A and B are shown apart, each in its own frame.
Chain A
Amino acid sequence: MSFVPSFAASQHYSTPLRITLTDASTGSDTDVVERRVYVQDYTGAYLKETGQSADYKVWLLVETTVNLDLLLKDTAVKITVLYVNVSGTTLYTNVQYVDCDANGQSGKYSILQKWVSNPAIINDVNYLTGLQQLETYLDGAIGAIATGQNLTLSQQCLDGAKYMIDNQSIFF
């Protein structure tokens, strides 16, 4: 059965600065001896874990998942996984664009709790328009990635959401 490389990226609210990759490949290729994971932001810069010197992190073949602790904030990233042979030659490549927005989503959830505990707050124009704006930022970040793989635009939206969450006294 031919080898078809694939992976899924996810985040968890308890570790919002971490990306977890889970292997979803099918088939096999005995020539593949190593996986290399590259993570780039909208500028093309490689994001690295503390102490990581190479631009990539090795993802051992025996490991189904790998944790990447390299985010400083919500970030739109391009994740490239190379599948290389013993000579270091790339045999397969898999690229995904990911909107890492765990902080934004959990921040919005927290802001919604004000509404849950005080239903009338939705009649407050500041709260309502602030929530709509935040929602637009987070949706925009997802949309910019899903449609157009636009890391720059997605990052602008994520930064907009971060500013609102960090300055809730202004917006909510």
Chain B
Amino acid sequence: MPSVFDTIRIAQLSLAMARVDVDKSSFRGPFLDYLLPWKIKVLKKSVQWAFDQSETYPDLEETSNFLYAMLDKYGILATDALSIATPVVGGPVISIVTASSIFPLYKTSEDFSTANLYPDTRLFGNEIRVFIDEINRNLFDDEFYVDADGLHVIYDGFDASVNQYHLEIKKVNP
């Protein structure tokens, strides 16, 4: 887990990332936590205030960790952008989710690592359904598959490196 000092820096950058991301996604329905930028801001300010008061301020570390968890993917990106090393123990992500509680997932073309691959290893072993806003339907079984690398979307013409897509990934029989 990053130090309180580093978490404040990470949150500052994450706030901007979340703000822009939410703005870019404002027309695609209730897929994002539109309050996330505000949540980051209000927590970051209080952690900053407490840290400025005293590094031993009551519950400061716990509150800082909660803030870091709130940052979600933006925290990972900001941590990397700031070249902040995080301890191996516990890893950089502290999302408190179980394998079955990650669904539904809302993803865009930006989340794809290639034209067809959404690289989320957590999907492997789950029976999922994939809805794409742009074609307004679920993908048929022969239009996608999941392996250890993540979700492969293979329906004809799909190219996340060129086109903008919005996906909802649900677990079947959760």
Q: Chain A: residues with CB nearer than 8 A to chain B?
A: 12-13, 105, 108-109, 112-113, 115-116, 119, 122, 128, 131-132, 135
* Chain B binding surface SS class: helix
- B46 CB contact (under 8 Å) in A12, A109, A122, A128: A109
Q: Report whether A116 and B66 are in contact in the complex, using a CB–CB cutoff of 8 Å.
A: yes
Nearest 4 A-B pairs (CB), nearest first? A116-B66, A13-B53, A109-B46, A105-B49
B23-39 CB contact bits vs A (8 Å, 1 = yes)?
Answer: 00000000000010011
What are 10 residue pairs bridging A and B, where the CB atoms are less than 8 Å apart in the complex?
A12-B54, A108-B46, A109-B50, A112-B43, A115-B43, A115-B66, A116-B62, A116-B66, A122-B35, A122-B39
Q: Report whether B63 and A113 are in contact in the complex, using a CB–CB cutoff of 8 Å.
A: yes
Instruction: Give Cα A121–Cα B95 distance, bound, in whole angstroms.
Output: 17
Chain A residue at smallest Cβ distance from B60: A109
Chain B residue at smallest Cβ distance from A135: B42
Given A108-B46, A109-B49, A112-B43, A13 and B54 touching (CB < 8 A)? yes
Instruction: Give Cα A132–Cα B63 distance, bound, in whole angstroms.
Output: 18
B43-75 CB contact bits vs A (8 Å, 1 = yes)?
Answer: 101100110011001010011001000000000
Count contacts between A and B, CB distance < 8 Å.
Answer: 34
Q: Report whether A112 and B63 are in contact in the complex, using a CB–CB cutoff of 8 Å.
A: yes
Q: Chain B: residues with CB nearer than 8 A to chain A?
A: 35, 38-39, 42-43, 45-46, 49-50, 53-54, 57, 59, 62-63, 66
* Chain A binding surface SS class: helix
Q: Which chain A residues border B57 with CB–CB below 8 Å?
A: 13, 109
Given A122-B39, A132-B38, A112 and B46 touching (CB < 8 A)? yes
Instruction: Give Cα A119–Cα B62 distance, bound, in whole angstroms.
Output: 13
Q: Report whether A116 and B63 are in contact in the complex, using a CB–CB cutoff of 8 Å.
A: yes
| Closest Cβ–Cβ distance, residue A88 to chain B (whole Å) | 38
Instruction: Give Cα A112–Cα B43 distance, bound, in whole angstroms.
Output: 8
Q: Report whether A113 and B53 are in contact in the complex, using a CB–CB cutoff of 8 Å.
A: no
Q: Which chain A residues border B53 with CB–CB below 8 Å?
A: 12-13
Chain A residue at smallest Cβ distance from B63: A116
Instruction: Give Cα A34–Cα B172 distance, bound, in whole angstroms.
Output: 78
Instruction: Give Cα A12–Cα B38 distance, bound, in whole angstroms.
Output: 26
Q: Which chain A residues border B49 with CB–CB below 8 Å?
A: 105, 109
Chain B residue at smallest Cβ distance from A101: B49
Q: Which chain A residues border B45 with CB–CB below 8 Å?
A: 135
Q: Report whether B46 and A131 are in contact in the complex, using a CB–CB cutoff of 8 Å.
A: no
A-B contact sample (14 more), CB < 8 A, given A109-B46, A115-B43, A131-B42: A13-B54, A13-B57, A109-B63, A112-B43, A112-B46, A112-B63, A113-B59, A113-B63, A115-B66, A116-B62, A128-B35, A132-B38, A135-B42, A135-B45
Chain B residue at smallest Cβ distance from A105: B49
| Closest Cβ–Cβ distance, residue A8 to chain B (whole Å) | 13
Instruction: Give Cα A132–Cα B53 distance, bound, in whole angstroms.
Output: 23
